[in-house]
Structure 1
Amino acid sequence: MSEHSLKAVSRSDEGKGASRRLRHAGVIPAIVYGGKSAPKSIQLDHEPTWLAQQNEWFYSSIIDLEIDGKSEKVLLRDMQRHPYKQLIMHLDFQRVTAGQALRTRVPLHFANEDKSPAGKAADVVVTHELNEIEISCLPKNLPEFIEVDLSELKLGETIHLSELKLPKGVEIPELKLGKEHDVAVVVARAGRVEAEDSAAEEDSAEVPASKVEKGEE
């Protein structure tokens, strides 16, 4: 697990007016909660935080958040963005306790698709049904991502949640809910068949209503 850090300072002024003033000053209002400590209002400089949030780790890794010189381990739980400006409006961080299991979402990295039988075939479409999954583990076992090896993927095959190779100490809570929750992660379908099915549906949709009615009589 890689180390990632951010710097913040505590703040005492709260409310919409105070948050607006902070944003105008290039500062992001935020909060840290969870664990045995009370929630704490903090603020982070916008520019370094904006650069950090462009990285995948920002959303799925434990962050070493330095507040007034004191470090806390946290996970990002929510980020509010401006609807059209490159501006972070607010951040929520949750404290992480070393011996306590956590649940969070991590991205999937798909490897070796171009080397697989399905990936090499011109008439096969490989679909990534999921791009991230929720996992449960102790903080020390939290991976930045889960790799999905597609090197052996063939036409007609599906890779399900239960087939993912997880790091030691990592579980997928959804799989405990029953077989119906063992959803597809990757599917290799015949591209020509999909095209023919789509064309057939379009032809059916274009048949005049009068002809359909006559055929039914």
Structure 2
Amino acid sequence: MSDHKLTATGRKDEGKGASRRLRHAGQVPAVVYGGGSDPQSVQLEHEKTWVASQKEWFYSSIIDLDVDGKVQKVLLRDMQRHPYKQLIMHLDFQRVNQNEAIRMSVPLHFVNGDTSPAGKAADVVIMHELTEVAISCLPADLPLNIEVDLSELKLGDTVHLSSLVLPKGVEIPQLKLGPDHDVAIVVARQGRVEAEETPAEGEEAAAAAPQAAADEGEGEAKGDAEGEEK
């Protein structure tokens, strides 16, 4: 687990008007809840928070949130973004109990795919069916990500959830639901080969078309002539 720090200050003004004023002042309204304590409204500096939000750890790691000098260990549970501007509108943080298991979705990092037998083959496509996985563990065991080694991947191979090498203390709750939930995360498939018309075939088709039209016209003319004789 890797700890990361954010700094916040408490706030008492709540409501849409107060949140709007905070955003205009370059602040992000947020709330901290859980852990057996009352919810607390806080605010964070937008620029520093935006920079942190570009990092993977922001979404899948324990964060040391310093609120007015008091550090609380939290997880990001929700982030509201502006529809088209680079603005964070609101954040939800959940306090963490170090003695209670948490459930989190962590990213999957795929490595050695390019150097695998499947990756070296020109006609094979490596499909990533999942990019993250839901895990359960104590906060101290929370990994930043889970690595998926594809060095041995060959055409026709499928990597399932049960194939993941998990860090100590980490489990995937979904696998307890039965074999049907052991879904694929990577599949090496045959690439689709487009059927292309060869030049010879194209030339033959082009030459045959005028001849076919001529034969059709000749047949119609012959039929008209026979009709007149009758």
The equivalent residue for 1:206 is: none
What is the distance in 2 between the residues matched to 1:163 and 1:32?
36
- Partner amino acid, structure 2, of 1:115: T
Answering whether residue 19 of structure 2 is matched by residue 16 of structure 1, we say: no
The equivalent residue for 1:63 is: 63
Deviation at residue 179 of structure 1 after TM alignment: 1.0
What is the distance in 2 between the residues matched to 1:67 and 1:178?
43
What is the distance in 2 between the residues matched to 1:37 and 1:44?
20
Deviation at residue 189 of structure 1 after TM alignment: 0.2
- Partner amino acid, structure 2, of 1:105: S
SS, match of residue 151 in structure 1: coil
Identity of aligned residues (%): 73
Answering whether residue 152 of structure 2 is matched by residue 126 of structure 1, we say: no
What is the distance in 1 between the residues matched to 2:35 and 2:70?
16
SS, match of residue 54 in structure 2: coil
The equivalent residue for 1:146 is: 146
Q: How does 1:48-87 map to 2 (within 5 A)?
A: 48-87=48-87
What is the distance in 2 between the residues matched to 1:58 and 1:192?
38
Deviation at residue 130 of structure 1 after TM alignment: 0.4
Q: How does 1:194-209 map to 2 (within 5 A)?
A: none
The equivalent residue for 1:160 is: 160
The equivalent residue for 2:3 is: 3
The equivalent residue for 1:187 is: 187
The equivalent residue for 2:100 is: 100
What is the distance in 1 between the residues matched to 2:6 and 2:168?
28
What is the distance in 2 between the residues matched to 1:127 and 1:192?
13
The equivalent residue for 2:42 is: 42
SS, match of residue 97 in structure 2: coil
SS, match of residue 114 in structure 2: helix
- Partner amino acid, structure 1, of 2:127: T
Size of the aligned set, in residue pairs, is 195
Please, what TM-score do these two structures have when normalized by structure 1? 0.88
CA distances 1:69-108 after superposition (whole Å, capped 9, x unpaired):
0000000000000000000000000001011000011000
Deviation at residue 192 of structure 1 after TM alignment: 3.2
The equivalent residue for 2:228 is: none
What is the distance in 2 between the residues matched to 1:69 and 1:173?
36
- Alignment root-mean-square deviation, CA: 0.9
SS, match of residue 8 in structure 1: strand
What is the distance in 2 between the residues matched to 1:192 and 1:15?
55
The equivalent residue for 2:208 is: none
Structure 1 residue ranges without an equivalent (≥5): 197-217
What is the distance in 2 between the residues matched to 1:179 and 1:76?
31
SS, match of residue 75 in structure 1: strand
- Partner amino acid, structure 2, of 1:2: S
Structure showing greater radius of gyration is 2
Deviation at residue 3 of structure 1 after TM alignment: 1.9
What is the distance in 2 between the residues matched to 1:3 and 1:133?
20
Deviating 4+ runs (over 2 angstroms): none
- Partner amino acid, structure 1, of 2:170: V
